[in-house]
Structure 1
Amino acid sequence: MSKEDGKEQQNAVALKLPTFWTTQPQVWFEQAEAQFHIRQITADTTKYYYVVGALDQETAGHVIDFLRHPPSDDKYEEIKKLLSNTFGLSRRARAARLLHMDGLGDRKPSMLMNEMLTLMDGHKPCFLFEQLFLEQMPEDIRLLSYCSMCIARQA
Structure 2
Amino acid sequence: MPGEEQQNAVWLKLPTFWTTQPQVWFKQAEAQFHIRQITADDTRYYYVVSALDQNTAGRIIDYLREPPVGNKYKGIKTLLNTTFGLTRQERAAKPLHMDGLGDRKPSELMNEMLALMEGHKSCLLFEQIFLEQMPEDIRLLLAQDTFTDP
Q: Same fold (TM over 0.5)?
A: yes
**What secondary structure does 1:124 align onto?**
coil
Structure 2 portions without partners, runs of 5+ = none
Superposed CA deviations along residues 29-80 of structure 1, whole A, max 9, x for unmatched, are 1111011011000001100011011111111110010111111111101100
Letter of the 1:90 counterpart: T
**Cα-to-partner distance string for 1:3-33 (whole Å, 9 max, x where unaligned):** 4xx23xx22xx10111111111111111110
Give the superposed CA RMSD.
1.3
1:35 aligns to 2:38 (yes or no): no
1:2 equivalent to 2:5? Answer yes
What does residue 73 of structure 1 align with? 70
Question: Counterpart of 2:98 in structure 1: which amino acid?
Answer: M
Q: Structure 2 CA distance, aligned partners of 1:122 and 1:18? A: 25
How far is the alpha carbon of 1:144 from its aligned partner?
2.6
2:48 corresponds to 1:55? no
Looking at structure 1, the residues matched to 143 and 19 of structure 2 have their Cα atoms a distance apart, in angstroms, of 39
Query: Is 1:23 equivalent to 2:20 in the alignment?
Result: yes
- The residue that corresponds to 2:86 in the other structure is 89
Judged with a 3 Å threshold, the aligned counterparts in structure 2 of structure 1 residues 72 and 138 are, in CA distance, closer, same or farther, namely: same
TM-score, reference length from structure 2:
0.90
Q: Return the offset for 1:145.
A: 2.8
Count of residues paired in the alignment:
143
Deviations, residues 116-153 of structure 1 (Å, cap 9, x unaligned): 0111122111111111111111112212333456xxxx
Deviating above 6 A after TM superposition, structure 1's stretches of 4 or more consecutive aligned residues are none
Match of 2:129 in 1: 132
Cα pair distance change 1:140/1:44, threshold 3 Å: same
TM-score (norm 1): 0.87
Matched letter for residue 5 of structure 2:
S
Q: Distance in 2 between matches of 1:62 and 1:148?
A: 46
C-alpha separation in 1, matches of 2:144 and 2:48:
50
- The 1-side partners of 2:144 and 2:114 are apart by 24
From the superposition, tell whether residues 48 and 147 of structure 1 become closer, same or farther in structure 2 (CA, over 3 Å).
closer
Residue 95 of structure 2: aligned partner: 98
